[in-house]
Amino acid sequence: MQAPDPTPGLTALLSRYSLGIKHLGEPGPTAAQLQALVDAALRAPDHAELVPFRLVAVQGAARGRLAVLFEQHARAKGKDDAARAIERGRALKAPLTLAVLSRIDLGHPLVPAHEQWMCVGGAVANILNAAHAMGYAGKMLSGDKARSAEIAAAFCEPGETLVGWISIGTPVRPPRSGHAKPQAPQVLRHWSERQR
């Protein structure tokens, strides 16, 4: 029996790729599309409906404030003028940057921390997949900036951790060819009753 043709949704999912900030341009998502991205995030598997994440949108003039934070962090790390300019560009280039904040309840009686983290990851994946389905591209970034106390303080409420940022915009170049993902047999095994 021949496998059925993929649905349009699956076709979009299987064609998603990450694209760096320097390859993102205007326009970014509209207000309605941003709402849909958040709605997609809220569809992530979430044991006990804890919603262990929050999102903060950085758009328009607010990107300048983020650029200052990134540049200050680069200066504190001893980076030169060229490197600091690159860091500023990371905040200014993408039309939409979503800060991803986790709020993991380590003492929850029913949902262990790893399940809450899986929900956060699922939310990030859903946002990126939804953006791709809308015709945008994006990438999740973290690095040492996400561990900066000063930058985290600008986004986090008590009990939250800054996970990183999702940058989203219109792709200004196609994905690179030759960047092959592993094939399903490389990551899939079938379990049987004889296995130990």
| Residue 134 and residue 29 in contact, taking contact as beta carbons nearer than 8 Å | yes
| Residue 74 and residue 143 in contact, taking contact as beta carbons nearer than 8 Å | no
96 occurs within a structural domain: yes
**pLDDT one digit per residue (tens) for the chain, 196 residues:** 556 677 888 988 888 999 999 999 999 999 999 999 999 999 999 999 999 999 999 999 999 999 999 999 999 999 999 999 999 999 999 999 999 999 999 999 999 999 999 999 999 999 999 999 999 999 999 999 999 999 999 999 999 999 999 999 999 988 776 567 889 999 999 998 776 5
pLDDT for res 152: 97
Q: For the chain, what is the total number of helices (H) and then of strands (E)?
A: 7, 5
| Residue 57 and residue 100 in contact, taking contact as beta carbons nearer than 8 Å | no
pLDDT for res 178: 55
| Residue 10 and residue 132 in contact, taking contact as beta carbons nearer than 8 Å | no
| Residue 94 and residue 167 in contact, taking contact as beta carbons nearer than 8 Å | yes
129 occurs within a structural domain: yes
CATH number (domain holding residue 78): 3.40.109.10
55 occurs within a structural domain: yes
Residue 167: domain span:
8-174
196 occurs within a structural domain: no
pLDDT for res 175: 76
84 occurs within a structural domain: yes
134 occurs within a structural domain: yes
126 occurs within a structural domain: yes
DSSP label of 3 = P
pLDDT for res 3: 61
CA dihedral 86, 88, 93, 96 (to 10 degrees): 130
Q: Considering its fold, how many domains does the chain have in total? A: 1
Backbone torsion region of residue 145, taken as left when φ is above 0, otherwise alpha when ψ lies between -120 and 50, otherwise beta: alpha
